[in-house]
Amino acid sequence: MLRLVSCMAPLSPGGLVYIFETYAIAGDALALNRPSCNDSGSGPSLQTRLPAQPFSAALFQEAKSMKAFEATQYFFDTAADRLNLSESTREVLLMPKREVQVQVTIERDSGELATFVGFRVQHDNSRGPMKGGLRYHPEVNLDEVRSLASLMTWKTAVVDLPYGGAKGGIGVDPASLSARELQALTRAFVDQIHDIIGPDTDIPAPDMGTDHRVMGWFRNQWEKYHGFNPSVITGKPVEEYGAKGREEATGRGVGTLTVKLTKRLGRKAEQSRVAIQGFGNVGTHTAKYLSDAQFPIIAISDATGTYYDPDGLDVQDLLRHSMTQPRGALTGYNNCQVLPVDALLSLEDIDVLIPAALGGVITSANVDSISAKVIVEAANGPILPLADKRLNERGVTILPDILANAGGVTVSYFEWVQNRQHYRWSLDRVRQELDRTMNDAFEGVWQLAQEEQVSLRTAAFMIAINRVRRAAELAGSVI
């Protein structure tokens, strides 16, 4: 029998709004009650899973308004159908173990109080401690964090790391805060969630809007409650127990697999014109890697515009310029054409498109204007299901996020291992192990996609679901 227990449990005085947890107890039959505890009465619905339905235009008629978690569920269900997974097992694997929403209040430099909403969603721990980034962005909400937490479960499984999945964030524009305010915000968030974070339970990392400084503040505040233990968080400054190569890791992984995929598809680097959406941590390192590998990078966008040169951009020049601008923006760069932000997606002369910024950017509304034959999902969830279906029908090869951007969590794992062993790896060793991990995962996904005649996304989900299901079976959580 499967039992679901929902509860309201304050973590620390003050800001907790609600929390629910699910406990699955395997017996001779599986059934699932949906969690219903939401004491505030006004929080988001806790129904985390829609009934399985066949893909239809009616279901996704307005793809633009589709919620992130529904999109993840659609990709999960497509793979689960191929695996003949029972409905009850799907429920256990898809529903998050715990969701937390907290109030985060700080004193602004002006002396005013400012209040924000913070989230941590712990999706699954069948394969090990839960792992996932912290995002500071104005559009962070529970649905998005839930979707990203679920993606982390499948991502750690597809690259075979001994982790589960989680995600967190705060609905805030970090650019609107001073460094002191950002630090105060991070410490106030830790005050609210430190009890559910730990090296053997849930290990955060950087994501959009957070970096090694934020990770350092997070660790310092957590250690005030729990004592010295740098393995509680990854992506820390290298001189403060961080790993060499962590900052470049996601971009390096994206670059490595883009080279591998284009070669596999019979495309030469020099003839594969690349466009990258986003020039933050992931976008810059991807651009550097591919430019060094002789790929012409003809367009790069950030929140300030699209920077375009059909003869190829000078990536080093762009990087030098961005370092002179607040928050690394490309504002004011004029050694190329400057187009509106959204122009990048509809450029006609692109072979490889790499979304490396926000989720949900390729939808039914703009999919027909995309010319690329290869899309590498450096961002999490950049393509919504209806657009994904159309791109597959058009023969576009998509390297899915759970594989393409797994380099970051892979080196986070190496950082955690080093912290636990009180030992340091060289940059060469980190890069070698990262390249090997990414290559092995790619080969597994590619081979299954060929054997089963499915997309790379469905193959990646099939591998990941099978690994999580097996772990849950061995633990007795599913039968």
Query: What does DSSP assign to residue 139?
Result: T
Q: Which residue reads 């992130």 in tokens?
A: 68
Q: Which residue reads 């964030």 in tokens?
A: 169
> Closest separation between CB of residue 201 and ligand NAD, Å?
21
Containing 411, the helix (H) or strand (E) segment is helix 407-421
Site membership for ligand NAD, residue 206 (CB under 6 A): yes
Q: Which is nearer to ligand NAD, 159 or 193 (CB)?
A: 159
User: Residue 66: helix, strand or coil by DSSP?
Assistant: coil
Query: What does DSSP assign to residue 67?
Result: -
Site membership for ligand NAD, residue 383 (CB under 6 A): no
DSSP sequence for 197-238: -BTTTEEEEE-TT--HHHHHHHHHHHHHHH-S-GGGSSS--G
**Which of 281, 291, 410, 458 forms a contact with ligand NAD (CB under 6 A)?**
281
> Closest separation between CB of residue 425 and ligand NAD, Å?
18
Q: How many residues does the chain have?
A: 479
Q: Which two tokens stand for residue 113?
A: 């109080």
Q: What whole-number distance in Å separates Cα of residue 312 and Cα of residue 463?
A: 37
Site membership for ligand NAD, residue 291 (CB under 6 A): no
Q: Is there a catalytic annotation at residue 167? A: yes
Site membership for ligand NAD, residue 250 (CB under 6 A): yes
Site membership for ligand NAD, residue 437 (CB under 6 A): no
Q: What whole-number distance in Å separates Cα of residue 448 and Cα of residue 433?
A: 23
> Closest separation between CB of residue 452 and ligand NAD, Å?
26
Q: Which is nearer to ligand NAD, 274 or 356 (CB)?
A: 356
Q: What whole-number distance in Å separates Cα of residue 146 and Cα of residue 369?
A: 30
Q: Which is nearer to ligand NAD, 38 or 366 (CB)?
A: 366
Q: Which of 412, 413, 378 is nearest to 208 (CA)?
A: 378
The stretch among 180-188, 224-232, 278-286, 430-438 that binds ligand NAD (CB under 6 A) is 278-286
Q: What whole-number distance in Å separates Cα of residue 462 and Cα of residue 440?
A: 16
Q: Which of 304, 309, 242 is nearest to 279 (CA)?
A: 304
Containing 206, the helix (H) or strand (E) segment is strand 202-206
Catalytic one of 167, 236, 288, 373: 167
Q: Which is nearer to ligand NAD, 224 or 327 (CB)?
A: 327
**Which of 68, 243, 282, 441 forms a contact with ligand NAD (CB under 6 A)?**
282
Site membership for ligand NAD, residue 277 (CB under 6 A): yes
Site membership for ligand NAD, residue 278 (CB under 6 A): yes
Site membership for ligand NAD, residue 408 (CB under 6 A): yes
> Closest separation between CB of residue 279 and ligand NAD, Å?
4
Site membership for ligand NAD, residue 208 (CB under 6 A): yes
> Closest separation between CB of residue 207 and ligand NAD, Å?
5
- Cβ proximity of 339 and 332 under 8 Å: no
- Strands in 98-107's sheet, in edge-to-edge order, are 16-21, 98-107, 113-124, 164-171, 130-137, 202-206
Q: How many CB atoms lie within 10 A of CB 339?
A: 16
Q: Which is nearer to ligand NAD, 209 or 216 (CB)?
A: 209
Site membership for ligand NAD, residue 258 (CB under 6 A): no
Query: What does DSSP assign to residue 351?
Result: S
**Which of 214, 378, 391, 399 forms a contact with ligand NAD (CB under 6 A)?**
378
For the segment 3-62, give every residue that binds ligand NAD (CB under 6 A): none
> Closest separation between CB of residue 337 and ligand NAD, Å?
16
Q: Which residues contact 393 (CB under 8 A, 6 or more apart)?
A: none
Residue nearest to ligand NAD as judged by C-beta position: 280
Site membership for ligand NAD, residue 209 (CB under 6 A): yes
Q: Which is nearer to ligand NAD, 206 or 400 (CB)?
A: 206
CA distances from 230 to 2, 96, 184, 197, 219 (A): 37, 26, 20, 12, 7
- Cβ proximity of 330 and 302 under 8 Å: yes
- Cβ proximity of 297 and 312 under 8 Å: yes
Q: Which two tokens stand for residue 25?
A: 């107890």
Site membership for ligand NAD, residue 193 (CB under 6 A): no
Site membership for ligand NAD, residue 154 (CB under 6 A): no
For the segment 319-348, give every residue that binds ligand NAD (CB under 6 A): 341
- Cβ proximity of 299 and 347 under 8 Å: yes
The stretch among 68-76, 82-90, 353-361, 461-469 that binds ligand NAD (CB under 6 A) is 353-361
Q: Which two tokens stand for residue 302?
A: 């950030």
> Closest separation between CB of residue 277 and ligand NAD, Å?
5
The stretch among 117-125, 262-270, 279-287, 422-430 that binds ligand NAD (CB under 6 A) is 279-287
- Residues in binding contact with ligand NAD, number by CB under 6 A: 25
Q: Which two tokens stand for residue 220?
A: 């310092």
Site membership for ligand NAD, residue 357 (CB under 6 A): yes
Site membership for ligand NAD, residue 352 (CB under 6 A): no
Beta bridge partners of 299: 275, 308
Site membership for ligand NAD, residue 455 (CB under 6 A): no
**Which of 11, 16, 269, 358 forms a contact with ligand NAD (CB under 6 A)?**
358
Q: What are the residues binding ligand NAD (CB under 6 A)? A: 206-209, 250, 277-283, 301-303, 341, 356-359, 378-380, 405, 408
Residues serving a catalytic function are: 167
